[in-house]
Amino acid sequence: MKIINKFYILMILTTINTNKIAMQQEEETKTEFPKEILTLGKMASLPIAKEALNIYDKQLEKNPETAFNFMKEYLNKTQLPQDIIYEEIYCSIINQIDRPDVFIKELNKNYDISLFNNLCYDSKLNIAETIIDYIAMPEHHNIDISIDDLKILLNNIIQDYSTSEIRIERFYIDLLEYLTDYSMDSDEIAPSYYKIQELIVIVKDKLINLLKAFVEKEKENKIELIGKTPDNIKEEALKIISAFDSDDKITANNILSKLSNNEINQVLDYIYGEYFPQEARYLDQSIYFIQFLFPENQVMDIISDLYQRLSKYYPRSSEIVYENKLMSNPNIQDIIPLLIGYMKWLEYGVVKFKENEIFKNLENINSNTNKIIEQQIILHYKNFGLNFVDALLSDLRYEIMRNENLTNKDKYNRLKIISDILDKIINDNSLPEDNLLYSNQEEINTDLTELKKEAPE
């Protein structure tokens, strides 16, 4: 750390004591900090948070009504930027010191959604989940708020939550998972079981409306992007679907033979983007429909191109496809819009296809293997995005580890190649820096450590 940084941290910590004395003497003490504080505020957030909480707890004993304001006044006197106070100091109190109750009591007493919305994501989720804990098992918690008031507070948060992050649905998906986990322990939370069910309905309704709004907005965006689907394309699509329903391959092939490649793409875009999402009966036939229409050696290329186009037309829906907590939770499958459901089936097919291509390269390892697979991964990022690469790497790792036909040495060698490629991609900045890549790398390295115990050097 640079000496100047140490100096500014010392200034911050000194200000803690200065402000403490100033508050006791009811004197106004203000200190201006240079811009470096934006970085250093995070480094010094825990000691400041501890002192702020100490002020809160002392005032709580004297007058609970003013405790939060005393803490807030103390923090304002530090002249720290508000985003540092909310995202670092407050979040240290909630997550590191484990005192979400401070904010739950304040929100219940003086409801101001901005106090909640301006916090870091982990803190917002912590507060909401703690309220759920209080409602589900009140006998395990000592908080002077009625269950009815807690339910009202949580409902207000659910309805009023907003974020500057693109993926607003993440909050509701995480809450829904937390609530459904509780509902599965019906014996343990018997007295509160129906209250949890009520909350599940509230969150599901909010998430359903949110996802529907995304899909409707994207339908409008697609029209703006490429225009409405021509009537003649719709007519050909309906004929093909009718042939599929009748298991009439000859008629379907005759229709396709009269269409250009561009028209075939338009037909598929309409079927998967507009027609199929109106009903669920084709959902588990998403891949078979393509297999029915095209020769086997063309199927996966057609599915890949189709998924790539749909991801371009419906980018937010494509992002939600990778929300595993939503897509893999059998208890909430019914809330997923059908467009997203069909895209998930296509994505799964493409992941498996691209994964098999990499597997083939790993079976015949030579001096070009690393370069070939690296180029494949970068190409997949360009075509499908980082979420797709994450899904591909996760599935690839899983399939290697569970393959009973591979020895531990074989597994080690294959994963080592993937690990080396990820190292190079990260070091070369070939893909955007993202936690997804680091997470995959960490998981692969964990597997390598375990395999190395049995695999020869």
Domain housing 291: 229-343
In a domain, 143, yes or no: yes
Residue 333 shares a structural domain with residue 248:
yes
Q: pLDDT for 290-318, tens place per residue?
A: 999 999 999 999 999 999 999 999 998 99
Written as six digits, the tokens of 142 are 């000592």
Q: pLDDT for 105-148, tens place per residue?
A: 999 999 999 999 999 999 999 999 999 999 988 877 778 899 99
Residue 44 shares a structural domain with residue 110:
no
Rounded distance between C-alpha atoms, residue 167 and residue 321, angstroms: 12
Can you tell me the mean pLDDT for 348-366? 92
Can you tell me the mean pLDDT for 193-200? 91
Residue 119 shares a structural domain with residue 175:
yes
Residue 179 shares a structural domain with residue 282:
no
Q: pLDDT for 236-246, tens place per residue?
A: 999 999 999 99
Residue with the larger pLDDT of the pair 204 and 184: 204
The candidate with the shortest Cα–Cα distance to 325, out of 220, 176, 189, is 176
Rounded distance between C-alpha atoms, residue 253 and residue 84, angstroms: 63
Q: What angle do CA 381, 385, 389 make, to 5 degrees?
A: 60
Which of residues 213, 245, 278 is at a domain's end? 213
Rounded distance between C-alpha atoms, residue 368 and residue 418, angstroms: 13
Residue 86 shares a structural domain with residue 113:
no
Residue with the larger pLDDT of the pair 36 and 151: 151
Written as six digits, the tokens of 306 are 């189709």
Residue 112 shares a structural domain with residue 191:
yes
Which of residues 69, 99, 129 is at a domain's end? 99
Query: What pLDDT does 32 receive?
Result: 47
The candidate with the shortest Cα–Cα distance to 290, out of 308, 309, 271, 275, is 271
Residue 330 shares a structural domain with residue 435:
no
Which of residues 99, 129, 157 is at a domain's end? 99
Indicate the number of domains in the chain. Answer: 4
Query: What pLDDT does 15 receive?
Result: 46
- Helical residues (DSSP H) of 78-192, grouped into ranges: 82-84, 91, 101-109, 113-117, 121-136, 147-160, 169-183
pLDDT of 6 over the 50 cut: no
Residue 199 shares a structural domain with residue 303:
no
For residue 35, give the 3-state DSSP assignment.
coil
In a domain, 414, yes or no: yes
pLDDT of 288 over the 60 cut: yes
